Amino acid sequence: MIKQIQTIAFYTLMEALRNRLMWLVVLVALTGIGLSGFLGEIAITESRQVQVALLAAFLRFSSVFLIATFVVTSMVRELNDKGLELVLSLPLPRAGYLLGKLAGFAALAIVPALLFGLLTLFFTPHTQAALWTISLIGELWIVAAFSLLCVLSFNQSMTALSAVMAFYLLSRSIAALLLIGKGTSGANTISQQAINFILDIIAALLPRLDNFTSTEWLVYHSGTWAALLPLLAQTGIYLALLSGAALFDLYRKNL
Amino acid sequence: MRERPISTVPKSALLLLTLGLSLQLVWHAGQPQHLAQAEDLPPAPSLSALKIISFGEPIALAKALMLYLQAFDNQPGLRIPFHKLDYNRVEVWLGRILELDSPGQYPLLAASRLYGEVTDETRQRQMHNFIYQRFFDDPNHRWPWLAYVAVTSKHQLHDLPLARKYAQAIRLNATGNEVPHWAKQMEIFILEDLNELESAKVLIGGLLESGQISDGHELRFLERRLQEMETKAKTK
């Protein structure tokens, strides 16, 4: 099955590379440099910090948006063209197809992460740029896997993309929401407790993406390899969870 | 996929495109210019709200908010003098930005060298007090701003006790190894009989020598300020 996974991954990656996605990635990089450079020029002090903070945030959100959009649109097209039925009519287990697709999208995610990571080298030490890039790869892998799960569940671009964006933004802000919920003074009512309980459950199911790809590493050079380990562990755990969910969905699908 | 030549497009479609583009340009040209009205600075959102909308990027949001706040003295068609701004709101904005990005020094620079340079003494004192209050959160990194307002308090507010209070706070609290020796002895420097320009030169020179200022934009900004002070001193 490894060979089949490799073949599917290869063609998934080729599709992306032939799809002018790379031009879009380069365009995002140029826009980021231009925009952050302009804003950095306005700053009276900490101009380099302003530039790198805004560039990093822009690149991070853009790369997530690009990967999620590509995964969703590519998979929806394949579903509409009956490509999935065609591939699964071959002697290939459904798991092989899914893991091949995941591997292809994971390989694709490395491309913008590496390019954007190289850009940050102009502003920050190598180690910090490397930490940021590796963390971005992990973040993009989670987003790609979640996008794949959403497409298999919803079969529609609009719904899948909306779900991915909601998941991403919630994963980035759940820590702040929890803090606010627990920090509300004097509000120990039943409704408040119920809301906090629901938030706790949501938080337990979401990856802590606010810890990933920290801009602080690039601005204040505070990143360490030790800080990366929990992020890699979280990536591995969440990829296993999402793959399991996607497999569950795919095997139950009546084609 | 190669596209068909333009000649295959119906003339009516080309006409519609040209007409639409022309109308848009005419419409835009006919729009009234932005009126030069001083837009009030809106109240700063709560820290909780800012943390949520930062989506895990508090530092990037803080830097962007600082540029947004700074832009309030330079709106389209109008440069609003700082003293026309609501300083209570400005103070809350600066505080929020510092809370989002506590190692950042930009809000303190803005408080001391932009908003604290107004001719209105009440507002100037408000900004000085803001810097004094925030100094205690991180004295070893925030002392340059308190040193600056100590000098300003002496020469612009002519309030020597206040200047000494600030200098004493530096001596007692900024005790880290990274704080230069001369800064720890700010009180002596405040008591010396130097005029404002000389004091500013000594302070900026000391900051440059100790590597506290390295940003090119800040250096140019300080050079401009020194030149302005020199011109002011000559005309007196």
- As for the ipTM of the complex, it is 0.80
Asked, for residue B24, whether it belongs to a domain, the answer is: no
Cα–Cα distances (Å) from A63 to A57, A73, A141, in that order, read: 10, 15, 11
Strand partners, B78: B75
Chain B residues with CB-CB distance to A under 8 A? 48, 51-52, 54-57, 59-60, 63-64, 66-67, 70-71, 103-106, 109-110, 113-114, 215-218, 221
Average pLDDT of the residues in A205-222: 93
Asked whether the predicted pLDDT for residue A162 surpasses 90, the reply is yes
The CATH number given to whatever domain includes residue B83 is: 1.25.40
Sole residue written with tokens 């490894």: A2
CA distance B144 to chain A (A): 14
Alpha helical stretches, state H, B87-138: 87-100, 106-109, 121-135
In this complex, is the C-beta atom of A42 within 8 Å of any C-beta atom belonging to chain B? yes
* pLDDT at B80 (0 to 100): 55
Report percent pLDDT > 70 for chain A: 98
| Residue A186 confidence class, pLDDT cut points 50, 70, 90 | low
Asked, for residue B20, whether it belongs to a domain, the answer is: no
Report percent pLDDT > 90 for chain A: 67
Asked whether the predicted pLDDT for residue A15 surpasses 80, the reply is yes
Asked, for residue B136, whether it belongs to a domain, the answer is: yes
Asked, for residue B5, whether it belongs to a domain, the answer is: no
Nearest to A46 by CA among B58, B37, B67, B172: B67
* pLDDT at A152 (0 to 100): 92
- Judging contacts by C-beta atoms under 8 Å, the chain B residues touching residue A179 are 48, 51
pLDDT tens digits, one per residue of A16-60: 888 888 899 999 999 999 999 888 888 888 888 999 999 999 999
B159: tokens are: 């309030």
Asked, for residue B53, whether it belongs to a domain, the answer is: yes
Cα–Cα distances (Å) from B63 to A80, A235, B99, B198, in that order, read: 44, 29, 12, 33
Q: Give the domain range for residue B170.
A: 41-194
pLDDT tens digits, one per residue of A138-158: 999 999 999 999 999 998 999
- Judging contacts by C-beta atoms under 8 Å, the chain B residues touching residue A41 are 217
The rounded distance, in Å, linking the Cα atoms of A34 and A47 is 14
Asked, for residue B167, whether it belongs to a domain, the answer is: yes
Asked, for residue B119, whether it belongs to a domain, the answer is: yes
Asked, for residue B81, whether it belongs to a domain, the answer is: yes
Determine the 3-state secondary structure of A89 from DSSP. Answer: coil
The count of structural domains within chain B is 1
* pLDDT at B77 (0 to 100): 43
Strand partners, B75: B78
Burial A131-150 (b: 16+ CB within 10 A, else e): bbbbbbbbbbbbbbbbbbbb
Contacts of B187 (CB under 8 A, 6+ apart): B164, B167, B168, B171
B228 or A207, higher pLDDT: A207
The rounded distance, in Å, linking the Cα atoms of B148 and B203 is 7
A55: tokens are: 């560039």
- Judging contacts by C-beta atoms under 8 Å, the chain A residues touching residue B104 are 46, 49
* pLDDT at B36 (0 to 100): 40
Determine the 3-state secondary structure of A186 from DSSP. Answer: coil
Determine the 3-state secondary structure of A101 from DSSP. Answer: helix
* pLDDT at B28 (0 to 100): 83
Please state at what angle helix A21-42 crosses helix B58-70, rounded to 10 degrees.
50
Please state at what angle helix A157-183 crosses helix A190-205, rounded to 10 degrees.
130
* pLDDT at B62 (0 to 100): 95
Cα–Cα distances (Å) from A241 to A200, A244, A248, A252, in that order, read: 18, 5, 11, 17
Cα–Cα distances (Å) from A116 to A62, A215, A228, B103, in that order, read: 10, 13, 18, 25
A234: tokens are: 């979280």
Residues of chain B scoring pLDDT < 50: 35-38, 75-78
